[in-house]
Structure 1
Amino acid sequence: MVPSVVATACTRCGRCIDVCPNQVFAFGLKCRRADTSREKECAL
């Protein structure tokens, strides 16, 4: 199971791919927008 903190971060479409790629991709598909550009913001 993933910590609630990580789950929350993944709840946002294309939030942080580094946090959880699987969750982000899943949510990205649900939101119909795989925003990989956001991952750069999280890289900082």
Structure 2
Amino acid sequence: MKHNEHVMTWLRSLRDEAVDPACSIARMIDVMAILARYSFGRGTV
């Protein structure tokens, strides 16, 4: 699997976790922070 595909799969799983009704507010904030870093190109795996 290419690196970009791996990262996209990982980001999708984070997004899915954040929208799960069982996800805590604190975890949602953590996930949003991770996604924000990636959306601006500053994130690393």
| TM-score, structure 2 as length reference | 0.30
| TM-score, structure 1 as length reference | 0.30
Q: Which has the larger radius of gyration?
A: 2
Where is the helix percentage greater, Structure 1 or Structure 2? 2
Could you say which structure has the greater relative contact order, defined with CA pairs below 8 angstroms and 6 or more residues apart? 1
